[in-house]
Amino acid sequence: MDEQWRADLAGWGIPEEIAAKAPADPWGYSPARFAERTDRALADPEGPTLTRVAEALPRGGSVLDVGAGTGAASLPLAASMGELIAVDPSAAMLAELTSRAARLGVPTRIVDGRWPDVAAETPPADVAVAAHVVYNVPDLSGFLTELSAHARRRVVLELTERHPMSWLNPLWQHFHGITRPARPTVHDVIATAEALGHEVRHERRLAPLTRFADLDELAESACRRLCLGRDRADEVIATVIELDMWPVPRDQWFTLWWESM
């Protein structure tokens, strides 16, 4: 199962001859955009992921947020938390999280690095959460095993039903003649967790936000992901309209959770 997951994930790699011509990192993310999402979550905390973390969190308890980004999956629970342990490899993301945690009065311990590489230096917590992380994890079993070992009460995951870059598949075919994979999916994550002995429960919903506010925002993102220059933005917009890709449908988001063994 691990080998299949790893192989499926590797299928999302960008061919070297295309990546070499990329004017910007095609896998890069904007801390500012993530921070906007966190601020929206703080203003209107809702959804099954926060609910499942909250119901297992004792008053004044601790949350381990792996792949924490700017804190959207944990900081909205500031009033109930005694400590937040935030793990992420991006110093820029963690800086955004730290500033918000300080404003909210949440004691925060930062662990700079990738999970599970930094698991040995990370303390346990009452609840462990990892939101929109697993599609970046080649060793899924190792990731989940260490996550479970660090959670005294519950593990909660949030992820899209399919790979989050799936919306770009028609554009990869159009601009590069590449057919992108159909897997892995959330169902592979559930199967892996169950194979590790966990009784996985899940809940699904439409993503609470549209992916892009307008076609210009879509084109900016698509050009980066497709390794195209920004001068191709008008061409991308025309292709999106021609292929009837606008508006981009909202993703299906899944919340998975299981109790610690």
Give 35-53 pLDDT, tens digit per residue. Answer: 999 999 999 999 999 999 9
Instruction: Report pLDDT digits (tens) over 209-256.
Output: 889 999 999 999 999 999 999 999 999 999 999 999 999 999 999 999
Give me the domains of the chain, ranges plus CATH numbers: 2-168+181-211+250-259 (3.40.50.150)
Q: Residue 53 corresponds to which tokens in the numbers above?
A: 């973390």
Q: What is the reported pLDDT for 2?
A: 84
Place of tokens 């381990």: 64
261 C-beta neighbours (distance < 10 Å), count: 10
What pLDDT was estimated at residue 144? Answer: 98
Rg of the chain on CA atoms, in Å: 19
**pLDDT attached to residue 1:** 74
pLDDT of residue 214: 97
Q: What are phi and psi of 171, to 5 degrees?
A: -75, -35
Strand partners, 65: 86, 129
Q: Please classify residue 177 by burial: count the beta carbons closer than 10 Å to its beta carbon, then call 0-12 exposed, 13-18 middle and 19+ buried.
A: exposed
Q: Measured on CA atoms in the order 189, 190, 195, 196, is the torsion positive or negative?
A: positive
Distance (Å, whole) CA 57 – CA 145: 20
Task: Tell me which residues of the chain have a pLDDT lower than 50.
Answer: none
Please tell me the predicted confidence (pLDDT) of residue 209. Answer: 85
- On whether the pTM is more than 0.75, the answer is yes
pLDDT of 179 reads 97
pLDDT at position 204, please? Answer: 98
Compute the distance between CA of residue 188 and CA of residue 41 in angstroms, rounded to an integer.
Answer: 28
